[in-house]
Amino acid sequence: MKWSSKDISQYVQAREYIDTVVLPLIPINFKENIQTLASQGEYITILSYELERQFKGRIILMPSYSYPEDLTEEQKIAHLHALSLHMKESGVKHVFLLTSDSTWIQHEQQLEGKLIWLPAIPMQDMEEKYQQKIIQDQMNQLLPMFIQKWQN
């Protein structure tokens, strides 16, 4: 399910079965590294949509949490912590944080959710069949992570 009025009305009716949120974390910076950050964001967005498609009816795909890359670590953690805490207090059992921003790795223990860091693969110049293969390979690694978390 996506964060849309149609899907959320279904969520409200079946809330007890939908206990997982996927929150893409996407840094932005219009001064430096704009192409790299856009590529990272594109990759995480594609993976997020594929996760939502695979687990439709079990997860909610949130809009991307975009943040200025130059925020302090404390600011990033505080904002994300407040958002994750709100979701958990609202009945969400599992929050998956999906990102290509490696700065989150060192703060994983402070996060209210399961961090999944994936190195971004630049796909903008790749043929579609190769893009699909990469996404499918990544899904083969991600899907068991979700299933394992649900079983624990």
CATH number of the domain encompassing residue 57: 3.40.50
pLDDT at 24: 98
Give, in order, the Cα–Cα distances in Å from 106 to each of 43, 80, 110: 21, 15, 9
Please state whether beta strands 94-99 and 65-68 pair in parallel, antiparallel, or not at all (unpaired). unpaired
Quickly state the pLDDT bin for 125 (edges 50, 70, 90): confident
How many CA atoms lie less than 13 Å away from 140 in the CB half-sphere?
6
Q: How many domains does the chain have?
A: 1
pLDDT at 145: 93
pLDDT at 128 over 90: no
How does pLDDT run across 43-65, given as a tens digit for each residue? 999 999 999 999 998 999 999 99
Q: What are phi and psi of 61, to 5 degrees?
A: -90, 115
Inter-residue contact 138 to 47 (CB < 8 Å): yes
Angle separating helix axes 128-151 and 34-54, nearest 10 degrees: 60
Domain, as residue range, for 115: 5-144
Q: Is residue 152 part of a domain?
A: no
Q: Is residue 27 part of a domain?
A: yes
What residues are paired with 26 via a beta bridge? 66
Q: Is residue 98 part of a domain?
A: yes
Quickly state the pLDDT bin for 25 (edges 50, 70, 90): very high
DSSP structural state of residue 62: P
Q: Give the closest residue to 63 by CA, choosing from 148, 1, 137, 130.
A: 1
Q: Give the closest residue to 103 by CA, choosing from 117, 89, 86.
A: 117
Q: Is residue 149 part of a domain?
A: no
Q: Is residue 12 part of a domain?
A: yes
